[in-house]
Structure 1
Amino acid sequence: MKRLRLLPHRSFPGYAYLPGRQPHPVRDPAGHSYRVQPVPVSASLDSDEFAWGHDLFNFGYYWEAHEAWEGLWQVAGRGTPLRALLKGLILLSAAGVKIREGKRTAAMRHAGRAAGLLRQLRIPHQPFSDALGMSPALLADLAEATASAPPILQVTAPGQPEPVFDFHLGTH
């Protein structure tokens, strides 16, 4: 399945962070985002930062996708469906990190929490389905399926991204 970039002009980080294996991206002076100032964001499905999270997620930069979506989550209105969607994507990204680390129990816990939030979005949320390329409920099912039967990972160079989900998030 071909993975398309939403923001091809934006460069991916120098490595896909896995805890304990590379320098911490923001705390370590050798980190890929050390002293990078956060950009102002608006909590919107149409924002560049939301699209950047898609690109990072789809190409196996799960920790980085988590960070991109967390910035949006922090400014999203409390109790809103958008905030629940963003939290679900953050947890799904965390599950991707745990799968790459070989921590199946933690991956299942994060994927389960993500699925619970995504399934709460039962009322018609066509903008969410359009942004994800699938319904939130289908994404919940796929997240749990991947975490319960994680893929066999390829041997990659340290810091090399590796998509672990057999789906990708669509365009909006």
Structure 2
Amino acid sequence: MTDWRPPFAYLPGQTARHPEGAFDRFKQVAPGALSASMPWRLGLDLYHEGFFWEAHELWEAVWLAAPPNSAERCAIQGVIQLANAALKRRMGREAAAQRLDDLAEAHLLEAARRGADVMALTETQILALKKIARGPQKYAIKCTLR
């Protein structure tokens, strides 16, 4: 893993965007090891620290590597939607955030229906991710992967 963090959390319309390719070195995903991949794990850390756009950026690489129509792809899509909801909420766009919360919920429910502990996330960890997306406060439960 890495202790690297971006110098700031990107907030569209309010902060500068990160340089093109700033996250490329962290986007390598080995086939069959999605939940252990650098972009997945670093994305979880960044999400917990309030780097929502940055987590989304990393998770897109994992989503692209996931098998089509798989439980993993549903779970990743749901978590990406949570990051996007948190970002929209931070931008003061509550209606957009709520719509994304609903989309995330649908993806996460479908992922759970297809397989337990998808992407090495427990139900408790998924609830913690949802709480972060729905409010600015920090929560004690952090997604520590097995």
1:124 Cα deviation from its structure 2 partner: 6.5
For the 8 Å contact 1:49–1:69, the answer to whether it is kept is: yes
For normalisation by structure 2, the TM-score amounts to: 0.81
Identity %: 27
Which one of 2, 6, 13 corresponds to residue 20 of structure 1? 13
Residues 16, 69 of structure 1: alpha-carbon distance in 2 compared, 3 angstrom cutoff = same
Stretches (4+) displaced over 2 A = 34-40, 121-129, 138-143, 164-172
Equivalent position amino acid for 2:35 in 1: L
Equivalent position amino acid for 2:12 in 1: P
Match of 2:71 in 1: 81
1:37 Cα deviation from its structure 2 partner: 6.6
Larger radius of gyration: 1
Residues 76, 141 of structure 1: alpha-carbon distance in 2 compared, 3 angstrom cutoff = same
For the 8 Å contact 2:128–2:142, the answer to whether it is kept is: no
Structure with greater helix share of residues:
2
* Larger RCO (CA under 8 A, 6+ residues apart): 1
For the 8 Å contact 1:116–1:140, the answer to whether it is kept is: no
For the 8 Å contact 1:85–1:117, the answer to whether it is kept is: yes
Residues 37-76 of structure 1: matches in 2 within 5 Å? Answer: 38=24, 39-42=27-30, 44-76=34-66
SS class of match (1:121): helix
Residues 146, 61 of structure 1: alpha-carbon distance in 2 compared, 3 angstrom cutoff = closer
Gaps of at least 5 residues in structure 2 are none
1:122 and 1:57 mapped to 2: Cα distance? Answer: 21
Residues 111, 77 of structure 1: alpha-carbon distance in 2 compared, 3 angstrom cutoff = same
For the 8 Å contact 1:42–1:72, the answer to whether it is kept is: no
Residues 135, 37 of structure 1: alpha-carbon distance in 2 compared, 3 angstrom cutoff = closer
Q: How many residues align?
A: 141
Note the aligned Cα RMSD (angstroms): 2.7
Residues 94, 103 of structure 1: alpha-carbon distance in 2 compared, 3 angstrom cutoff = same
For the 8 Å contact 1:95–1:107, the answer to whether it is kept is: yes
1:122 Cα deviation from its structure 2 partner: 3.5
Match of 1:135 in 2: 123
| 2:8 is aligned with 1:36 | no
For the 8 Å contact 2:112–2:118, the answer to whether it is kept is: no
Which one of 1, 5, 11 corresponds to residue 4 of structure 2? 11
For normalisation by structure 1, the TM-score amounts to: 0.70
Gaps of at least 5 residues in structure 1 are 1-6, 26-30, 154-163
2:138 and 2:105 mapped to 1: Cα distance? Answer: 14
